[in-house]
Structure 1
Amino acid sequence: MTTSLVRQVLPRPRPRAATTGVNGTTATGFAPVRHSFERACREAGPSHAQGAALAVVRDGELVVDLWHGTADPVTGAPWTGDTLVPAMTGSHAVLATAVLLLADMGALALDRPVADYWPEFAMRGKGKVTLRDVLTFTARLPGMAAGLDQRDVENPRMMAALLELHSLEEDPRAGGVLHGPWTAGWIVAEVVRRVDGRDLDLFFLEEIAGPLGLDVHFGLVPDQLPHAARISYDPGFRARFPAPDGGPDDGAADLFGRVWNNPSPFPADAGVWSRTRRRYAIVPSLGAYASARGLARLQGVLAADAVRAPGEEPLLLSRRTLDQARSFWVEGLDPLLGGVSAYGEGGLQLLDEGRRPAVRAGAFGHQGPGGVAFQAWPQARTGAAWVRGRLTAAPGARVLDDVADAVERAARDGS
């Protein structure tokens, strides 16, 4: 039995009938955010077919808590404030937090080879690959050569054993930043287990989610299943990630196949992500399940810790660790998907980009295609998260632009 299945969780309210309006609250000064959220929901389509949520935490206070629509179009279960979605590629940022906490504890160092903690990993020329390489997608391990199916990826220990026998990718396009949907998570999960003794899900629960009261989980338990959203795709979403339709994915013959079709993280049947087996499984790089509140609280904690005075007790990570984690390390154009990404030394995606308002200076988090976007804004000690059950090819961060404007106004007005 996995550690996920033995967790103790508080009972949750039973789902109610779906509603068509926007639910939730906004603090003084954040009314424009509600209007932005309503507009985004209208543009997304009918509320009976999909749902979304937006949460903002500033100085530890939940100042925006909004949700809308339907979590499961099959059962009619409504979206609520604690509806959970898989963070998909955003799970990598959650993983990075776990590694940074172990670094803060002195249990590991980002510039040390993975093999220092997992000796078998050194086989086939991987002895010099560091944790920082893995977290910044520069390890030359973006995908697997062995053909995998959707059940294989739900077994992180088996994947770790396969990675021990894997060689570095020889394709020259893997020489820079090359995102892979699966491998970094399996490496991190095995390092956590080797260093700490606990599996990733239990470590994250006991050291991060539990103490901070975060609704963020690697793998769900039975009581949480009624609160998991059913995943679907917008038309055209899968065109960015071409994969075989049906049957075991067989795309390991070329680089794109090894990275994005082995197996596809977004198979033709989106129901894979709504099966009980997948929701129970530990799928580190894609399967961090979270509510908008949970992600916003986590980003709010990181934002506040990033600007604490030297010596001040952090909620999660020390100022020293976050300064290093946010320090620019690499930037590159993904040769397979396009798009430029920048990462700090600790694998945090840097989102400053020189944009305004000033509240976004030093921002980090996750934005990209899918159903989830979240950001930490240290200058405002604020975290924000937007989640959906329907995945889209466009970055999900536009509504967060309006949130940043509202945070800037609130700071200026003293509200």
Structure 2
Amino acid sequence: MTAETEPDGRPMCVDPRFQTTADRFFDTFRTTAHGGGAAAAYLHGELVLDVWAGWRAKDLRWTHDTVTMCFSTGKGVASTVLHRLADRGLVDYDQPVAAYWPEFAAAGKDRITVRELMSHRAGLHNVRAIAPTREILLDNDAFANALAAGSPDPRRFRGPGYHAVTYGNLVAEVAARVTGKDFTTLLREEVAEPLGVDEFWFHVPLDHRVRIARVFPTVKPGPLPWSTTGRLLSAVPGLRAVAEAGMAAGFDELVRSPEAHDAVMPGWNGVFSAEALAKMYVALANGGVVDAKRYLSADRIRQMAQVQTRDRDYVLGIRPNWRLGYHPAWLRIPEPPLGSIGHYGFGGSGAWADPETGLSFAFVSNRLGNALQPITDGRMSRIGGAAIEAARRAA
């Protein structure tokens, strides 16, 4: 094992087998225009990569304790909370959501199951209709009430429709209903404390907010204001579902606002470190065990990784092969890990596990996308691809 030392004295970790992965990572952050980020990996539960580079703000370097908003990467974290509850018999995937959340039965949703909800088949993708104002987005109870009252899209019977913003709040409400605890408490008790890692936040504690990297650039899909663009795209047949699902009211402003850290929106406002995310996925890569302790049952891991639908997603326009709250790792390599399980986020962050090699990997960055668009880019695919190839060589 080799290590490099940062100016503040915290050593980076680069196992020699993962030197190429580290090289690709460091090549990503050459100037302030590239922002900053971190990557971490565990192989069979052993830390083999923990690196960081670049800038968390124009005049501040990224350090070992920097965290950043990771957007939909948090869906995998929220899903893991619900799977922990299912492992204790508190949730049955094949029970109606309304069995745990009675109000959810409204508008013909009485037969929608937890399994369907977790594989984006509940038909509640349209955040523009469910939460037409940012005030509703920021109010957990109001958002939950709006979701419960919402009418499901009939396209759900033909295939999944990615719940870009609504998914996290749906999962969080089910978890809260079956335990009687708020989701912030559940996140701490079911993820942070068992793993011995603090950096799992949707509602970020005030004393840790100084650690959050500034995301950039401004989220702007074109020359028109966000709200206007959303309305226009909603009228275009081929783009309508994307606008409905992803262009929530005020999202462009909330992305860079401290208000985003006051609310619990597990579909997109998660703040994590790469090391924390990679540590959580250790369990998914190693049969449910992390730090020699049972975190999830082996049977639960098997169920979590099963493909729930191979149909085309009517929001994304592709076949994501949704698992129960996750998708496979999408990597730029000749033989991608088809049995992998994880979740990527808006802008390019993401984390996943590969049970075949025992590898868990995470990449986070405050730089959203590339020079052309903020949605995503190839950083995760390149760096993650190098990591999986290193893990295969080490087998």
TM-score by length of 1: 0.81
Residue 259, structure 1, aligned to residue 237, structure 2: no
Does residue 160 (structure 1) correspond to residue 144 (structure 2)? The answer is: yes
Distance of 2:335 and 2:131 partners within structure 1: 46
Which residue matches 1:71? Answer: 56
Per-residue Cα deviation, 1:70-92 (whole angstroms, up to 9, x for no partner): 1122xx23212232122211211
* 1:400/1:264 CA distance change after superposition, 3 Å: farther
Aligned partners of 2:271 and 2:106: how far apart in 1? 33
* Aligned twin of 1:302: 284
Gaps of 5+ in 2: 1-5, 370-375
Comparing 241-250 and 322-331, the one that deviates more: 241-250
Paired position in structure 2 for 1:331: 310
Segments of structure 1 that go 5 or more residues without pairing to the other structure are: 1-14, 18-22
- Cα deviation per residue 1:359-390 (whole Å; 9 max; x = unaligned)? x3521112365231212011222211111101
Matched, 1:179 2:189: no
Count of residue pairs the alignment pairs up: 373
Q: Does 1:349 align with 2:298?
A: no
1:251–1:279 Cα change, 3 Å: farther
Q: Which whole-Å deviations, capped at 9, do the CAs of 1:143-200 have from their partners, x for residues lacking one?
A: 1425523332122211111122211124x47731211222222211111111011111
Q: What's 1:142 paired with?
A: 125
Which residue identity does 1:97 align to in structure 2? T
In structure 2, what is the equivalent of residue 245 of structure 1?
226
Aligned amino acid, residue 119 of structure 1:
P
Matched, 1:127 2:110: yes
Q: Secondary structure at the match of 2:322?
A: strand
Deviates more, 1:111-120 or 1:389-398: 389-398
Aligned to 1:10: none
Q: How does 1:5-24 map to 2 (within 5 A)?
A: 24=12
Structure 1 distance, partners of 2:232, 2:153, is: 15
Among 223, 230, 233, the residue aligned to 2:207: 223
Question: What is the rounded CA distance, in whole Å, between the counterparts of 2:331 and 2:50 in structure 1?
Answer: 27
**TM-score normalised by the chain length of structure 2:** 0.85
Change (3 A) 1:261 1:37: closer
The 8 Å contact of residues 21 and 386 in structure 2, kept in 1 or not, is answered as yes
Secondary structure of 2:133's counterpart equals: coil
Inter-CA distance 296–288: structure 2 relative to 1 (3 Å threshold): same
Equivalent residue letter for 2:141: R
Instruction: State how far apart, in whole Å, the 2-side matches of 1:289 and 1:263 are.
Output: 21
- Report whether the alignment pairs 1:89 with 2:72: yes
- From the superposition, tell whether residues 147 and 61 of structure 1 become closer, same or farther in structure 2 (CA, over 3 Å): closer
How far is the alpha carbon of 1:320 from its aligned partner?
A: 0.6
Paired with 1:242 and 1:318, the residues of 2 have a C-alpha distance of 50
- In 1, the alpha carbon distance for the partners of 2:299 and 2:330 equals 20
Supply the distance in 2 between the matched residues of 1:79 and 1:122 (Cα, whole angstroms): 46
Rounded Cα–Cα distance in structure 2 between residues aligned with 1:397 and 1:168: 34
C-alpha distance 337-327 of structure 1, shift in aligned 2 (>3 A): closer
The alignment partner of 1:41 has SS state of coil
The 3-state SS of whatever aligns with 1:194 is helix
- Deviation per CA, 1:273-331, whole angstroms, max 9, x where unpaired? 232221132111111211010111111122112589xxxx8531100111111112112
Deviates more, 1:210-219 or 1:380-389: 210-219
SS at match of 2:77: helix
* Map of 2:372 onto structure 1: none
Task: Tell me how far 1:342 sits from its aligned partner.
Answer: 0.9
Distance 1:48 1:165, change over 3 A: closer
Distance (whole Å) between structure 2 residues aligned to residue 151 and residue 16 of structure 1: 42
Q: Secondary structure at the match of 1:305?
A: coil
Corresponding letter in the other structure for 1:78: R
Distance 1:336 1:249 in 2: 14
Question: Structure 1 277/174 Cα, relative in aligned 2: closer, same or farther at 3 Å?
Answer: farther
Q: Which amino acid aligns with 2:226?
A: D
More displaced stretch, 174-183 vs 193-202: 174-183
Does 2:15 match 1:27? yes
Distance 2:114 2:223 in 1: 29
Contact 2:332 2:382 survives alignment (8 Å): no
1:366 to 343, 357, 372: 343
State the Cα RMSD in Å. 3.0
Change (3 A) 1:93 1:152: same
| Paired residues for 1:194-209 under 5 Å | 194-209=177-192
